[in-house]
């Protein structure tokens, strides 16, 4: 729509300057142009802008950010998906998606290099609650830091919209959220006809040491939307670890590990007590890319779709 408006504008200017022809403008064309102008005005961010971020702090953005440092992989993914490739000047050592992150300056991993971040002179630092005290240090040094980190799907939508708003990518954020919501609706439609008693019991482990996601976690939410029943939620609130014996007693129909599938299968095979678990007997042991489920960003619903495919391969199309 923006390109169309600019094309009409340039054409009118050229013809007006030449004075060689007259252009008849229909009422509908005029209405379309006016609608486009209003639409552009409605989605453009007005600066200075003050927002309350996920740390509860009022953050003022003086102008459209041109130099962005992202210090959390999930917000990095959101920023790139919003089309901020040129504006992002640095990311962390832990960033691995999309491919463009490998071309960016690095500012540290588990321990961030605060001095380097400051030296890069960003006009915006994108962070999450997981960044902890580093956020305070950067703010104390005069940097503008926006903390935005989702947990649930709804929180993730809000995070995308917040980042889109402060970076003048409102339309892109709305489109991204709409696409994710459509993914959720499609998965819900896929599994809607499966009776509760036929829904699969799922054990999901994030490491061979049997760390898992219990009730109230984002992964528990994704398992539920995908039509599964998270067996760990029966015994665990939040994140934690269960014993091999506990999992045997829960007898899951499907086992999913968020690491390489070959390693998941080997880890399960090494647990001799698990040989009679339904998932093992029916060869329903899978691996899934960890970042598809753990990073609250635009690929979260890709992970959701993948779970549905693993749970109900015959229903998913």
Q: How far from chain centre, in Å, is Cα 83?
A: 14
pLDDT digits (tens, 9 = 90+) for 239-297: 999 999 999 999 999 999 999 999 999 999 999 999 999 999 999 999 999 999 999 99
- Whether the domain at 49-168 and the domain at 194-311 fall into the same CATH topology: yes
Residue 148 pLDDT = 95
pLDDT over 90 at 103, yes or no? yes
Euclidean distance between CA atoms 96 and 76, whole angstroms:
9
Give the lowest-confidence range in 16-25, 72-81, 93-102, 195-204.
16-25
Residue 30 pLDDT > 70: no
Rounding to the nearest 10 degrees, give the CA dihedral for residues 79, 81, 82, 85. 70
Report the distance separating Cα 293 and Cα 127, nearest Å.
19
How far apart, in whole angstroms, are the C-alpha atoms of residue 210 and residue 243?
Answer: 7
As a whole number, mean pLDDT of residues 57-83 equals: 98
194-311 CATH pick, 3.40.50.1980, 3.50.50.60, 3.40.50.300, 3.40.50.80: 3.40.50.1980
Residue 145, SS3 per DSSP:
strand
Q: What is the mean pLDDT of the chain?
A: 89
CA distances, 209 to each of 34, 93, 242, 243, 257 (Å): 61, 25, 9, 9, 11
Residue 29 has pLDDT above 70, yes or no: no
CB 69 within 8 A of CB 122: yes
Domains in the chain: boundaries: 49-168, 194-311
Which top CATH class is 49-168?
Answer: alpha beta
pTM: 0.85
pLDDT, mean of residues 208-230? 97
Q: What is the mean pLDDT of residues 26-49?
A: 58
């Amino acid at each position: 729509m923006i390109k169309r408006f600019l094309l009409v504008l340039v054409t009118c200017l050229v013809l007006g300057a030449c004075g060689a022809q007259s252009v008849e403008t229909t009422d509908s064309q005029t209405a379309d142009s006016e609608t486009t102008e209003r639409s552009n005005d409605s989605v453009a961010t007005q600066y200075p802008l003050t927002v309350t971020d996920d740390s509860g702090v009022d953050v003022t953005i003086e102008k459209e950010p041109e130099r962005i440092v992202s210090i959390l992989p999930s917000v990095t993914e959101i920023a790139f998906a919003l089309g901020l490739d040129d504006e992002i000047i640095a990311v962390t050592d832990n960033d691995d998606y999309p491919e463009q992150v490998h071309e960016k300056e690095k500012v540290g991993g588990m321990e961030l290099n605060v001095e380097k971040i400051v030296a890069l002179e960003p006009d915006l630092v994108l962070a999450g609650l997981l960044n902890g005290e580093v956020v305070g240090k950067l703010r104390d040094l005069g940097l503008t830091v926006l903390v935005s980190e989702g947990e649930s799907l709804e929180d993730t939508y809000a995070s995308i919209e917040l980042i889109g708003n402060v970076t003048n990518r409102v339309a892109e954020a709305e489109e991204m959220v709409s696409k994710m919501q459509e993914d959720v609706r499609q998965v819900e439609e896929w599994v809607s006809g499966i009776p509760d008693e036929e829904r699969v019991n799922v054990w999901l482990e994030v490491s061979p040491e049997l760390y898992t996601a219990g009730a109230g976690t984002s992964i528990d939410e994704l398992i539920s939307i995908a039509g599964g029943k998270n067996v760990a939620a029966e015994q665990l609130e939040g994140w934690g670890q269960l014993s091999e014996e506990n999992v045997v007693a829960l007898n899951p129909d499907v086992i999913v590990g968020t690491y390489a599938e070959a390693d998941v299968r080997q880890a399960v095979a090494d647990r001799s007590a698990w040989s009679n678990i339904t998932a093992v007997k029916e060869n329903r042991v899978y691996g899934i890319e960890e970042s598809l489920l753990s990073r609250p960003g635009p690929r979260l619903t890709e992970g959701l779709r993948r779970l549905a495919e693993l749970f109900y391969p015959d229903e998913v199309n």
